[in-house]
Amino acid sequence: MSAADSNFITIYDTTLRDGSQGEDILFSVEDKLRITRRLDELGVPFIEGGWPGANPKDDAYFREVRKLSLKNSRVSAFSSTQRAGVAVDKDKVLQGLLKAETGVVTIFGKSWDLHVTDALNISLEENLELIYNSIRYLKSRVDTVFYDAEHFFDGHRANPEYAIKTLLAARDGGADALVLCETNGGRLVDEVTKSTQEALKLGVEIGIHTHNDSGLAVANTLAAVGVGATHIQGTINGVGERCGNSDLTTVIPNIILKMGKKCDIWPKQLTSLTSVSRFVDEMLNRSPRENQPFVGNSAFAHKGGIHVSAVRKNSETYEHIRPQLVGNRQRVLVSEQAGKSNLLAKLSEFGITNLDSHDSRLQTLLSDVKDLESRGYQFDGADASFELRARRALGDVPEFFKLHGFRVIDERRQRNGDGPVVGAEATVKLEVASKIVHLVWEGSGPVDSLHGALCQALEWYYPTINDVKLVDFKVRILSGVGTSARVRVLIEWQDGERRWGTVGVSEHIIAASYDAMVESLNYKLFIDGATPVK
């Protein structure tokens, strides 16, 4: 066995195992299978599926994953070395690995003498035997065995000679790669660099597995790669125990686009990185991190007028890569900091290109936006609201209906034995097709009842209006004290094909919600190309 080509990097994803140890992260078997498919499409060569025998869910996953026709990935089972005093062929942990029938296994062992003496309560020599015997036994029965040297960097700091001996035991047992684990996440970049360089002297493929407790997981991973590590372990979006693991959505583009390394992920597959990141967040039922490097919604968003002016001329002025390389996109934000360059760039996203910086309508729109934001409006997450205002200023949006008003009655009544019943009743009055429509709708709450009433009032004239569904609802207190404070409501919508955001601001939370809701319905009708009924 010899060291690997230092220019080719092997990606090993452990989202389904190490990532699942993060707080509030709970994958179902179907979630794990769906993520496996997406990682396979991305081109990840190794996917760590879980710990067989640890729980019924992981056992079910290994049974079901055999049925998948994976094109690029091999699934790995994870476990520990044999237990002290138990023969390898009798050890339940090792036998569980073999029953997973993966062809690839990863086992971890102790590299820090503190763990050997205080956690395992065995001699240092016995620990070396556990490592060697476990790997040799597994290597004779499966194609690929990776060894995770747990707490290697802490161990190398405390007792460098012994830490290296644990690696030698794994190497001599036949491990295909020795993965140095920065398990506690506390070591700095220079320490990781020096310890990795020492491990590389063993003449075997060296890997790196880092945690983010000091905010350095990605930096430590890249540092190890910089000196010759060729096997990278991490998770999508950096999920994992405590502060998480090294984020592969940051590591992968850095090693390919910045360090010039090669891996099994091709440029075409790299363009799906953003969608994979958001898919995993969706499986976790959590919102994506907006400012996440490379794949975040704000990663290539520009707000300052000077920045926008420059980036429109040459994107390299404020973008370190082309966002399309990782499947992301450039976004221009419109805010009180906006200049005419922001507006022109934003309008071009909507297909409005017949304006120049001297058009008086542009200055009027800019003044309007700045005035609205001074009163609490925010268009960063409400593109639909901004587009409507822009197009109205240009005379592009027809009037689909006129509003006359609304009323909402909330109700909570006690029902014997079954707890309280909560509901709301909304009344809306609007004009459409020269007729007054006045109706009442009941819902589970004020927003639900208002939405139902508006859709019911309009569906006869505009049938597609019922496709609009509320996806996300955010309320932010802007000014004032207590229940009389001014609030901003940001609502995200979808119709099965598209997603958009609208905003409303008022001292009355229901009024702000109503305004955002009306804008959403107007936007839906506009993008559908609806013709105002007469």
How do residues 52-79 score in pLDDT, each as one tens digit? 988 899 999 999 999 999 999 999 999 9
pLDDT at 481: 62
Among 285-289, 340-344, 423-427, which is the least confidently predicted range?
A: 340-344
The Cα 131–Cα 153 span in angstroms is 18
Positions of E strands within 444-497? 469-479, 486-494
Which residue is listed with tokens 């990663």? 299
Among 73-77, 227-231, 447-451, which is the least confidently predicted range?
A: 447-451
pLDDT at 492: 87
Among 88-102, 112-126, 297-311, 340-354, which is the least confidently predicted range?
A: 340-354
Range 496-501, long-range pairs (CB < 8 A, 24+ positions): 496/467, 498/527, 499/471, 500/383, 500/384, 501/381, 501/382, 501/383, 501/384, 501/385
pLDDT at 325: 95
Predicted confidence band of residue 3 (pLDDT cuts 50, 70, 90): low
- Residue 4, pLDDT above cutoff 90: no
Could you tell me which residue, 114 or 532, shows the higher pLDDT? 114
Q: How much is the average pLDDT of 430-434? A: 91
The Cα 469–Cα 471 span in angstroms is 6
Question: Which of these, 238, 169, 234, 154, lies nearest to 204 by C-alpha position?
Answer: 169
Predicted confidence band of residue 379 (pLDDT cuts 50, 70, 90): confident
pLDDT at 376: 81
CB count in 10 Å sphere of residue 169? 23
The Cα 110–Cα 119 span in angstroms is 10
Question: Which of these, 107, 114, 97, lies nearest to 58 by C-alpha position?
Answer: 97
pLDDT at 375: 83
- Structural domains of the chain, with CATH: 8-283 (3.20.20.70), 301-374 (no CATH), 402-527 (3.30.160.270)
Predicted confidence band of residue 474 (pLDDT cuts 50, 70, 90): confident
In 355-445, which ranges are continuous DSSP H helix? 360-374, 383-393
Length of the chain: 534
- Residue 338, pLDDT above cutoff 60: no
Residues 6 or more apart whose Cβ sits within 8 Å of residue 87: none
Predicted confidence band of residue 482 (pLDDT cuts 50, 70, 90): low
Q: How much is the average pLDDT of 25-41? A: 93
What does the radius of gyration of the chain's CA atoms come to, in whole angstroms?
29
pLDDT at 281: 87
3, 204 Cβ separation under 8 angstroms: yes
Express as a percent the part of the chain with pLDDT over 70: 94
Q: Is the dihedral of CA 58, 64, 66, 69 positive or negative?
A: negative
2 burial level (CB within 10 Å; 0-12, 13-18, 19+): exposed
- Residue 1, pLDDT above cutoff 70: no
The Cα 441–Cα 425 span in angstroms is 6
Could you tell me which residue, 345 or 63, shows the higher pLDDT? 63
pLDDT at 357: 74
